[in-house]
Structure 1
Amino acid sequence: MRPATATPKKIAFRPNWWARAGWLLLAVYVVYAAGRLGFVPERFASGLEHGSRFLARMFPPNFSRWELIQSGILESLQIAVIATALGIALALPIGFLAARNLMPAFVTWPTRALIALCRSFHPIIVAILFVKAIGFGALAGVMALIVASIGFIAKLFAEAIEEISLKQVEAVRATGAGFFAVLIMGVVPQVLPRFIGFSTYQLDSNLRNSTMVGIVGGGGIGATLFTAYQRFDFDVVLAILIVIVALIMVAEIFSGWARKVFQ
């Protein structure tokens, strides 16, 4: 009688030693980078203590300077709306020129380089450059947000055009329509819902960024916030932050309504 042979043990999930080694190296690097940046438990604990005292000085919020807060909010709204409108107007032709299914390569490459340049820097960096160039005020903030709007909308608009169905374009072109008629009748109807979504999101983003560019001299509520912080009026700082959060929530509701209505 032959002895029973032992069946080999099956492993459901074989260990991936390369992946484990990669995770181990990542953990080691995180510890090393935290040490190089001075992230130690003692400093973190002291930071929590200082943060608790800072938050205690912010309560209750002080709305006694409501006129100043209101003027800053209105200026931020104006900055965001103007920058979004001009950014969209400039991003539309740039997006068409960057679409590789509509334009030749010698047109799309320089256009995409321009879009990449607009996307390369944070709006705060661009705002600092404009503040140095044209001085403090809302104009510097508007110019910085226009650059940010072009970089965002033109890129997404070009990608949306590249995803359209060319059958509708060819059908319009077969009727003998010119180039601009093909764009209006064959391309725009296919990308209009997405373009509206991009535009409403950019308006929402510009409302948030108008606060940041104001801190570096671009006008708006950010300048009011920075002034209150420098004067150690932390209760006024909290009041401004509450108003900013309320403004962003209203903008989010408006964006959702606009997408439902126009899409």
Structure 2
Amino acid sequence: MSGARLGPTARGKRSGIRPFHSSWQAKLLAIVVAAYAVYALGQLEFSAERFVKGLDNGARFLARMFPPSYRNGDQIVTGFVESMQIAVLATFFGVMLSLPIAVLGARNLMPAWATWPARLIVTLCRAFNPVIVAIVFIKAVGFGALAGVLALIVASVGFVGKLFMEAIEEISMKQIEAVRATGAPFLSVVTYGVLPQVIGRLVGFCTYQLDANLRNSTMVGIVGAGGIGAALFAGFQRFEYDFVLAILITIIAVVLLGEFASNYVKRIFHV
């Protein structure tokens, strides 16, 4: 029987390949991770009784949320307008800062003395959750939307800067060399040699970051950085769970609309 007519299992036996085979190091690592998971479960005082009790408490909590109440609809509208403004401003300024940082951090364009500081900035921006950064800015500039914008700018630089940096490092150098051969300055090399190759991916990164900033604006608002998160936290504080559900439903609706808008923008730019 020819090898072309053998099934996958027979071909594997004939060639000596064992499907789903892993090394002893991988098996040892899996055992260590499983053992540590069991150990951590015991250290955190989890129990079946506590889990069952939590289900009962969660059911009663959800029952108090229905039906949703829009009696304070003006607070929802005001909060979402502010959240949208925070997200748009943070995305715009975050992308504007990310572009030069990404160019400086691209190892195929810049020497090592320039790439390491740029990469360090991106790493520091990605090191902390936006809520933690928002708390720092609240201490610096006070409560309100400004702290939220600054916190999400940092988050945007960490995300867009890293992905744009990687996109630049994957481009073809032939187009860059062609632009350099004309004697063009570095800015022209970036404009005509780099950006045309990555503009599609950059649009995709920006639309995703705008969507992420819209969601994150809710989180930073909970700690006092403006947006709909402040109204959400106030609803929890007042035990107005029906109002909380109305806010959550509105958040879901806005995120879905943002997803449709992002897909439309990607189709326009053929991303």
Same-fold status (TM-score > 0.5): yes
- The residue type equivalent to 2:212 in the other structure is S
Structure 2 CA distance for partners of 1:76 and 1:28, relative to 1, 3 Å: same
Q: What is the match of residue 211 of structure 2?
A: 204
Q: What is the match of residue 254 of structure 1?
A: 261
- The residue type equivalent to 2:109 in the other structure is L
How many Å apart are 1:31 and its aligned residue? 1.7
Q: What is the match of residue 227 of structure 1?
A: 234
Structure 2 CA distance for partners of 1:160 and 1:233, relative to 1, 3 Å: same
Q: Distance in 1 between matches of 2:32 and 2:208?
A: 39
Is residue 96 of structure 1 aligned with residue 138 of structure 2?
A: no
- The residue type equivalent to 1:66 in the other structure is G
Is residue 27 of structure 1 aligned with residue 30 of structure 2?
A: no
How many Å apart are 1:26 and its aligned residue? 2.9
- The residue type equivalent to 2:117 in the other structure is P
How many Å apart are 1:64 and its aligned residue? 1.1
1:211-244 deviation line (CA, Å, top 9, x unaligned): 0000001000000000000000000000000000
Q: Distance in 2 between matches of 1:64 and 1:80?
A: 26
Is residue 157 of structure 1 aligned with residue 167 of structure 2?
A: no
- The residue type equivalent to 1:76 in the other structure is S
Q: Distance in 2 between matches of 1:99 and 1:59?
A: 52
Structure 2 CA distance for partners of 1:15 and 1:174, relative to 1, 3 Å: closer
Task: Name which of 164, 169, 176 aligns with 1:169.
Answer: 176
How many Å apart are 1:180 and its aligned residue? 1.1
Larger radius of gyration: 1
Q: Distance in 2 between matches of 1:213 and 1:94?
A: 25
How many Å apart are 1:63 and its aligned residue? 0.8
Q: Which runs of 5 or more structure 2 residues have no equivalent in the other structure?
A: 1-12
TM-score computed with the length of structure 1 as normaliser: 0.92
How many Å apart are 1:21 and its aligned residue? 4.8
- The residue type equivalent to 1:36 in the other structure is Q
Q: What is the match of residue 125 of structure 1?
A: 132
How many Å apart are 1:12 and its aligned residue? 8.7
Structure 2 CA distance for partners of 1:151 and 1:42, relative to 1, 3 Å: same
TM-score computed with the length of structure 2 as normaliser: 0.90
Query: Superposition RMSD on alpha carbons, in Å?
Result: 1.7
Structure 2 CA distance for partners of 1:12 and 1:146, relative to 1, 3 Å: closer
Task: Name which of 45, 50, 57 aligns with 1:43.
Answer: 50
Is residue 76 of structure 1 aligned with residue 83 of structure 2?
A: yes
How many Å apart are 1:166 and its aligned residue? 0.3
- The residue type equivalent to 1:166 in the other structure is M
Q: Distance in 2 between matches of 1:259 and 1:210?
A: 23
Task: Name which of 58, 67, 79 aligns with 2:74.
Answer: 67
Secondary structure, counterpart of 1:217 in structure 2 = coil
Give aligned-pair identity as a percent: 59
Task: Name which of 227, 245, 249 aligns with 1:238.
Answer: 245
Q: What is the match of residue 214 of structure 1?
A: 221
1:11-68 deviation line (CA, Å, top 9, x unaligned): 9958966655543443332121111011111111111110000000000000111111
- The residue type equivalent to 2:161 in the other structure is A
How many Å apart are 1:159 and its aligned residue? 0.8
Structure 2 CA distance for partners of 1:85 and 1:17, relative to 1, 3 Å: closer
Aligned length: 254
Task: Name which of 31, 44, 53 aligns with 2:60.
Answer: 53
Q: Which runs of 5 or more structure 1 residues have no equivalent in the other structure?
A: 1-9
Structure 2 CA distance for partners of 1:196 and 1:12, relative to 1, 3 Å: closer
Q: What is the match of residue 144 of structure 2?
A: 137
